[in-house]
Structure 1
């Protein structure tokens, strides 16, 4: 069974997908009421599931007329997306942020699921058995090399 965070994430992504501008504005309290959860649950979903690494920009305004705006980052081409990702992962990248980037590459049809599994196995903390921050720097260099190949091939 899926948890409430998964349900809220799917709901928001479906609304975004149906919007031609790839932007939605929501009221945290309204969404919490709709899903019968606490508003902090909505914050958690947005903070963890709608990150820049995953291809989203989140803006919020607090107060009575407050809102949360979620915008899907759109790129003209794969090259532009890869350039943005390269900026995000340099000079170091954690395993969780790297995983988010890989998921984004799959969603944008830049890599296949099989290719993602290969990349994830190479950048895994068990494979890169070095102390931090050295491990995150090596992960960044490996991903930069792979992304550079994808960009120019």
Structure 2
């Protein structure tokens, strides 16, 4: 049996599919929580873990008028948006785990090959950067540089 988080994630992805070429959804957290008979915090959990910048999504929470959430999916063919979103996700410092999430997303989008994925992954690994004082900062710079060349 699928976990509730998986079901909610799949439902939101189906909404995107049903939405055609529009890569933006507007949902009300309370209505979604009612639909799945769960607490609104469960919806927040799904959004914050399954629809992240690293996975190509932007989340905007709007208050007033009942409050709603806008989920934007970055179009696979818009290189500038993809690169900007990735660079925003990387920031000035990034952990190995979050770096791998970004790389997995790029691989799933067919933006990098399996070989590129593995080369970048080993290049930014903690074991490779062992002894570096601020390895998360160095990792961010390396990742940005490699992505800039590849994309």
Q: TM-score range by the shorter chain?
A: 0.7 to 0.9
| Distance (Å, rounded) in 2 between the aligned partners of 1:6 and 1:107 | 18
Contact 2:26 2:70 in 1 (8 A): yes
Paired residues, what number? 150
CA RMSD of aligned residues (A): 2.7
Normalising by structure 1, what TM-score?
A: 0.77
Q: Map 1:1-153; keep pairs closer than 5 Å.
A: 2-19=2-19, 20-62=21-63, 65-74=66-75, 77-78=78-79, 81-130=82-131, 134-151=134-151
Q: Identify unmatched segments of 5+ residues in structure 1.
A: none
Identify which range, 39-48 or 78-87, moves more after superposition.
78-87
Report deviation, 1:114: 4.9
Contact 1:95 1:125 in 2 (8 A): yes
